[in-house]
Amino acid sequence: MKYFLVPLSFLLGSLLGGLLVRFWRAGGENRPTTMQKLKLVVITALGTGLLIGAGGYGFLRYKFRPRELAPATTQNALEDLHKAGGDTNGSKGIPVAGVYTFKTSGLTKVKSSLLGNTERAMPKSIPAILIPRGNCWELTLRIEEGNEGTEKYCSTVNGVRLAERWEKRQMFGFTTTSRMTSGSLPVIGPTGKPGSTWKDAWNIVEHSSTSPLKIERPDLLFQMTYVGIETLDIGGQKLQAHHVIQTSSWTSAVSGSLKREVWYTVDTGLMVKLTIKSLGEGIISMESDTQYELTSLTPQQ
């Protein structure tokens, strides 16, 4: 229907112009010439089209204006943890269930010639919900209410691997959700040797958006690098963590690049630190540079 708005508005303006011509002819002795009638019809048609277009654009900017989202709270995260169930006692080799806290920093900038520009700073800290399910667990980083990402990890004989990923994002008043699956290799690669590299992919299996604009989400092909084991200080506690770098770039309706650096504990594979730098360019362009670091290895339950 949206593709017919321009010709329909022009047709409506032409009809209005025709009615004005008819009233003009019936209103007095000085009847309009053919050229005068044509000018009146064209001017009325153009004016009507511009008026409808301006009104539509104003409505679009108002409807999809940037909105403040409610901050994510630990209390809400705990309630969702209890509703979800799962094994809160934990098992050997699996991270402890509960609500963790990540201190965060960084900024996300969004630009759109149609909807305008906005930017959003990361809160100082966010809750993260960890729910074990068998030999797997789901870790949800809740940035704001309605703005979160979940990663599903599984413990295998070859090591911990990232199995699936879900995202829910709210921006300009519309919601975008995606679900992706990852490869079968563990997070430290096929060899687990420092400096080793390999290929991996996040394949889109579900994607939807309430945006009036078509937003595509391409599969992400990653160049992976296992840096090695590093010592981190998390909440005053020293621990050993695997350091992995993921880089990707793509070109489609939206072109962009992504670099993630992730640190996982050696004993359980719990993600304790994450940095993300991303750039996407298209109808809606987004640039993000954010950092996450766990504040304590002991979650709330």
- Check whether residue 244 and residue 286 sit in a common domain: yes
pLDDT tens, 140-192? 999 988 889 999 999 998 899 999 999 988 766 678 889 999 988 999 999 99
**What are the tokens at 213?**
């604009």
3 state SS of 216: coil
Domain boundaries, position 247? 74-294
Question: In this structure, which long-range contacts are made by residues 151-157, counting pairs with CB atoms below 8 Å and at least 24 apart in sequence?
Answer: 151/271, 153/187, 153/269, 155/93, 155/94, 155/269, 156/186
- Check whether residue 145 and residue 106 sit in a common domain: yes
Spatial separation of the C-alpha atoms in residues 237 and 297, rounded to whole Å: 8
Contact yes or no for 165/151 (Cβ under 8 A)? yes
261, part of any domain: yes
pLDDT, average across residues 60-80:
74
Q: CA-based diameter of the chain, in Å?
A: 98
| Residue 157 CB neighbours (<10 A) | 5
Grade residue 5 by pLDDT with cuts at 50, 70 and 90: very low
3 state SS of 30: coil
Grade residue 194 by pLDDT with cuts at 50, 70 and 90: very high
Spatial separation of the C-alpha atoms in residues 72 and 79, rounded to whole Å: 12
Picking from 9-18, 109-118, 154-163, which range would have the lowest pLDDT averaged per residue? 9-18
- Check whether residue 50 and residue 124 sit in a common domain: no
How many domains, in total, are found in the chain? 2
Adjacent-strand bridge partners of 96: none
